Structure 1
């Protein structure tokens, strides 16, 4: 809480939070540097990052659940008070316009997605409300979003949340706000804390003492190592959900009713083996004629004249390399090397995702 010029106590705003971080000396936009490459050690030691690049939409009203259930790729009707789910929003052609997290607050269903596409996605969703009793509101200016990772984060979070979420995609609430556990990265837990600016300002000194303050790039990098894609402006309408493994990480429910693009998404699922998938890779930072970023194309040495895939997300790892999630034709993995920008560009080095892809499993087995 802050005092105004009349000495009255008033609630802090998001701008107060940003000003506080500046005065506190936290470089919230700083990328991981060469002294702190992303690794199991860095994540294990724990970091905290203000997530100023993410937006929040609250969908309220008696028809909010049924409205979203008919728009998103995941089941909203059976979303529990302590559940967190991934969901996609598709075009009529089944291509992802957005990927998002969703959960319930006391009076609304919350949707988290990149701030750069929030306004357009919210406007598009609003177009389909029609006679439904549902209202969409931008509530990002009322909440602080903090990303925390590592075992050390578990210990410090117990100051505000005595009972932490026991598994990924679970949520607990307390007077300090909502704490969501997301997919682990490099064997370490990751948490999203939704708090008021007042709570965040009061908590930050302890968080910054116990954990490494970091920029949102670290959080996005941890999501890459968790194998969780995020659709951003350059990649809207580029991928059917399965092309970025979205059904493997719980973002698609094939038993729910219709939603935009559902027929194409379902047909892709039921017609058999998918020929394209998303992989984890790294690229040298030097020598690239094309920047390693979302939307950049990759090429196979075996077929150099046309792209074989596209980068979904990419972040510097602090070790002179770019870690990325890249969608590509599976056939190229056994047919030469894959390069950024052209067949003469930097070579991608592939690594294992934290979950198995269907083509990697024994016959008859299901992805875990």
Structure 2
């Protein structure tokens, strides 16, 4: 674990969690602009003359769309169409692409892609020398302009250069993700903290839940089709590109309507955080799905994303004895082509 977060006054709860002594951070984030180290994410670079062809054959994204402006969502699948990881794809220069994903899947994805890299004269490197910062709130864009000297991009787009990238993510408020050298992270976070509140990354994870955005973790590696986390509804699957590993299964599930589980957003009537993978059960104790993300909200209740059965009538549900209240997703469950997102100005 790097210590740049502890130098800011943070407390490393685990490799994937950092906390600060800020009271009620989720509640404060509803009213104030906040900054947080995104230690649950990591960076994997794919570099070389054949990097784009390597990725084109392995990822659900149309790689040509990643042009240094648009930074598409994507995923990597097994031959059976199950996701090995999902990520955001950036192009840094003509021979370098960057993947931002859950840090627990960095090594497994690198090792998977290593099997193909020599054929494309490409290399894979986990970038431990980079840090990720999240900036959220009504002043996020203004602060980014001042401290990063860039105009924030449109949703799922990027701005910056080879040293620094700024990305816009969806959520209940303005949300920006900055990727920058580790050597600059502490100083920049400190300057931002003069005008924004430092909070732990649980706040960002909660806002991902509220955005209906699920990042695959080791708990669900090689277990879910992309559609089971609504990835095609977020523009994370191109149905207009050629073949990639798992493409046939993913396309068949889409065109034949064979998706039996879907991502749902919910609130639990309680404050006990369930473990990832915990079953969502019906009144007869039968599993109807499982939890893929969970955080405490501003009012001390648990909000979750869960992959649930698409059956119309499954009745009352619960997780670890806590009743489930289904909440509305902030997007429709329908195909959103990344080709149209690439052309969006905002």
1:247 pairs with one of 210, 217, 232: 232
Distance 1:179 1:201 in 2: 17
2:290 pairs with one of 272, 286, 310: 310
> Is the alpha carbon distance of 1:137 and 1:35 closer, same or farther for their aligned partners in structure 2, counting shifts above 3 Å?
closer
Distance 1:250 1:175 in 2: 25
1:297 corresponds in structure 2 to 279
> Is the alpha carbon distance of 1:338 and 1:136 closer, same or farther for their aligned partners in structure 2, counting shifts above 3 Å?
same
Deviates more, 1:29-38 or 1:309-318: 29-38
CA shift digits 1:18-70 (9 cap, x unpaired): 24x424423462289873445xx724521111112221111011110010011
1:230 equivalenced with 2:206 (yes/no)? no
1:168 equivalenced with 2:144 (yes/no)? no
Gaps of 5+ in 1: 1-13, 360-368
Which runs of structure 2 are paired with 1:134-173 in the superposition (5 Å)? Answer: 134-139=122-127, 141-173=128-160
1:339 corresponds in structure 2 to 318
2:117 pairs with one of 102, 108, 129: 129
Gaps of 5+ in 2: 13-17, 336-346
Q: Displacement, 1:246?
A: 0.3
Q: Displacement, 1:265?
A: 0.4
Judge conservation of contact 1:176–1:199 (CA < 8 Å) in 2. Answer: no
> Is the alpha carbon distance of 1:249 and 1:129 closer, same or farther for their aligned partners in structure 2, counting shifts above 3 Å?
same
Partner SS, residue 322 of structure 2: coil
Moved over 4 A (4+): 31-34
> Is the alpha carbon distance of 1:262 and 1:122 closer, same or farther for their aligned partners in structure 2, counting shifts above 3 Å?
same
1:319 pairs with one of 299, 318, 325: 299
Judge conservation of contact 1:81–1:104 (CA < 8 Å) in 2. Answer: yes
- Could you tell me the TM-score, scaled by structure 1's length? 0.83
2:72 corresponds in structure 1 to 85
Q: Displacement, 1:306?
A: 2.6
2:24 corresponds in structure 1 to 35
- Could you tell me the TM-score, scaled by structure 2's length? 0.88
Larger Rg: 1
Q: Displacement, 1:284?
A: 3.2
Q: Displacement, 1:202?
A: 2.6
Distance 1:136 1:175 in 2: 17
CA shift digits 1:195-236 (9 cap, x unpaired): 113332332222112111111211111111111111101111
